[in-house]
Amino acid sequence: MEVNEKIAVEHGLKTEEYKKICELLKRVPNITELGIFSAMWNEHCSYKSSRLHLKKLPTKGKKVIQGPGENAGVIDIGDDDAIVFKIESHNHPSFIEPYQGAATGVGGIMRDVFTMGARPIANLNSIHFGSPQHKKTKNLLRGVVKGIGGYGNCIGVPTIGGQTYFDESYNGNILVNAMTLGLVKKDKIFYSKAAGLDKPVIYVGSKTGRDGIHGASMASAIFDDKIEEKKPTVQVGDPFTEKLLLEACLELMAGDSIISIQDMGAAGLTSSSIEMASKGKLGIEIDLNKVPCRETKMTPYEIMLSESQERMLIVLENGKEEVAKKIFDKWNLDFAVIGRTTNTNKIQLYFDKEKVADIPIDTLVENSPMYDRKWKKAKLPKKNKIDKDTFKNLNIITVLKKILSNPNICNKNWIWEQYDHTVMGDTIQKPGGDAGVVKVHGTNKAVAASVDSSATYCWSHPLTGGKQIVCESWRNLISVGAEPIAITNCLNFGNPENEENMGEFVECVQGLGEASKYLDFPVVSGNVSFYNQTKDKGIKPTPSIGGVGIIKDYQKMITMGFKKDENLVLVIGKTDGHIDQSIFARDFLNEKNGPPPEINLFNEKNNGETVLSLIKKDLVKTVHDISLGGIITAIAKMCIKGKKGIKLKKPKHLINQFEYFFGEDQSRYIVEVEKENLKKVEEILKKNSVHFDEIGEISNEDLAFDDKTKVSIDELYISNNNWLTNYMNK
């Protein structure tokens, strides 16, 4: 096929990008070369609209071993142990084919982790769907959950936490973000940088097929009415093969054979080979006839762009081929020497003894486009003037029960029950708490992780929303007794060529960076997903943050359920009664405008560190952060979890009770304190200038505002527990 501008545009390249390719090569590329450029220069692989802004994020810290730029980030957790982790999107494939899209998203992120030598120990996810009333939502949710559970359960890695969110902005483009944590010894971390000349390049894993061709390009495309035609671009996963690949790779990694290793993810053999060569500043030559294929008459173009799953590319030390082959033969996996490293600084491909591609590596990587796109700065919305008479017609118990049954507040047990969260035997805090927690096997340490997003706040004011979601992750880790160490992010946005969408991205990243820096909570890995829209309708800006923290003694871990009658309950942090953008405002005031709650980073850090010190000193029995739904929603969940009631009392500075109990002010926690420890706790809080309210006393009965205004724990449980199950079973 003769390449021209029209064909280049059909490959997702802009006219000016095609012209630049011709200039760099000093010739017209052939069809295989064009396919390679289209894969490497698309948004998903090149980060051409985001690189400029991502550089501003804080990526270093005392415990950071590896920041962005590798398959995953790595942090030091002491005793020569390290945690490898990352979150990544598989949005478009999951909308087209929910089961396989979600399943291969889980498989892909696990490969990113074990490629670095780590055994996966936990999975999490952040999934976003359209309105529950939308005709596609239920089936998409069912397919995605089955795909996540089907892959993770089969490979034997526990799913310890996650987030599920519904909003009409996702009607035409759902989000599926998958996160994996792995454990590795610090001296056994593997990297993707190729090194040495004339070293064998090895293909291992499954055979290459025609599934997933143009998958990376599709991830950088806008959906239209022909979405069903894109099903062939969705990869097909096999968790059982991935399990074999995991064990084979870890066995090979135990020796001294591997120079570098890279999983074949987006853009398959193209991206893996080019990234390895680029990092090592050398060339790679590949004989495509030697690539194991499961379909006949595959072309060089198809082989290079296939995104068939469960495949790895390895550069070995000379003379180690037979050692490696024996291992992969043992695990019944394909093994083939397909090429060598060279000093050409080129990717050179041969097929049927003819050279079918000859491309300088730097044209694909260093010379890939980087755009400083135009963007609009968002204005902070004015606060709404709320008619206080509205509150007179509301019953606080009725409001509470309805909020507990809100799709974004309700118990997600229908989802969690489909995930295996106890396999491997080290899970000590299951889904449903502030963060999932797994023990580091054979030690007293534990790793905590959470995934959070805040589309509503980011849509209202991206800068504030970006800060908020980092702080939310920080609070969730602290709430289980973990020291927050680092984060990974998956930044989901609409079309970056739209100035408003680009502005949302820029300001969210700015807010994210400011909060991360202030909290010493660096970004060590991540992913950007643009073009999340159908036609001209995009999603709300949705940065998903995966936070990781360490508990030095897992017996110090803390949970959110109330523990003991007569213990006192405190609200840590100042409540001003911020209603705008709250669940309460949207559900009961029909108000969707206004600013998100203000973020005070000093208070966030000070309050969080103080709560963590109280946990370490055994001065609090229960902790839960306050987020969506405000104080009373958090308290109700603590009552449900602990099967305990509470006698509430009015704080001295009570604003309006609805504003106080349902406002979504930030930097706050609910803690349970034994009466004999109250004085000690108060002294520490006052010493650290942390505001607190004594809000009530735990009882064995109801959640009671007073003698007449109360609700049983069973009623709260039903309100919180039944919505999703009933919705999915209709």
* Residues with catalytic function: 44, 90
**Token couple for 35:** 């396919």
Residue 645: CB atoms within 10 Å: 23
Query: Any residues with CB less than 8 A from the CB of 212 and at least 6 apart, and which?
Result: 233, 234, 235, 236, 268, 306, 307, 308, 309
Instruction: Report whether 670 contacts 570 (CB < 8 A).
Output: yes
Query: Any residues with CB less than 8 A from the CB of 499 and at least 6 apart, and which?
Result: 373, 374, 375, 376
Residues 418, 422, 425, CA angle at the centre, nearest 5°?
160
**What are the residues facing 710 on neighbouring strands?**
704
**Token couple for 607:** 């309050």
CA–CA dist 405, 570 (Å, integer):
25
Secondary structure E strands in 508-639: 523-529, 533-534, 537-538, 542-551, 568-572, 622-625
Instruction: Report whether 359 contacts 296 (CB < 8 A).
Output: no
| Count of helices and strands (H, E) across the chain | 26, 28
Q: Which of 364, 340, 351 is nearest to 45 (CA)?
A: 364
- Edge-first strand order for the sheet with 436-439 is 427-429, 436-439, 446-453, 542-551, 483-492, 523-529
List C-alpha distances in Å: 382 to 112, 150, 184, 541.
44, 46, 49, 20
Q: What DSSP line would sit under 434-487, residue for residue?
A: SSEEEE-TTSS-EEEEEEEE-HHHHHH-HHHHHHHHHHHHHHHHHTTT-EEEEE
Q: Which of 194, 150, 369, 187 is nearest to 286 (CA)?
A: 194
Q: What share of the chain is helix, strand, coil (3-state, %, to 5)?
A: 40, 25, 35
If DSSP codes are grouped into helix, strand and coil, which group holds residue 514? helix
**H helix runs in 617-709, sequence order:** 630-642, 657-662, 678-687
Sequence letter at residue 104: T
CA–CA dist 558, 354 (Å, integer):
64
Q: Which residues of 546-556 are buried (b: 16+ CB within 10 A; e: fewer)?
A: bbbbbbeebeb
Tell me the three-class secondary structure of 376-425, residue by residue.
CCCCCCCCCCCCHHHHHHCCHHHHHHHHHCCCCCCCCHHHHCCCCCCCCC
- Edge-first strand order for the sheet with 669-673 is 622-625, 669-673, 568-572, 692-699, 645-648, 702-704, 710-712
Q: Which of 15, 39, 2, 4 is nearest to 364 (CA)?
A: 39
Instruction: Report whether 92 contacts 142 (CB < 8 A).
Output: no
CA–CA dist 507, 378 (Å, integer):
8
Query: Any residues with CB less than 8 A from the CB of 470 and at least 6 apart, and which?
Result: 487, 511, 512, 515, 516, 519, 521, 545
The sign one gets for the Cα dihedral 417, 422, 470, 476 is positive
CA–CA dist 581, 574 (Å, integer):
18
Instruction: Report whether 125 contacts 177 (CB < 8 A).
Output: yes
Would you mind telling me the total number of residues written for the chain in this entry?
730
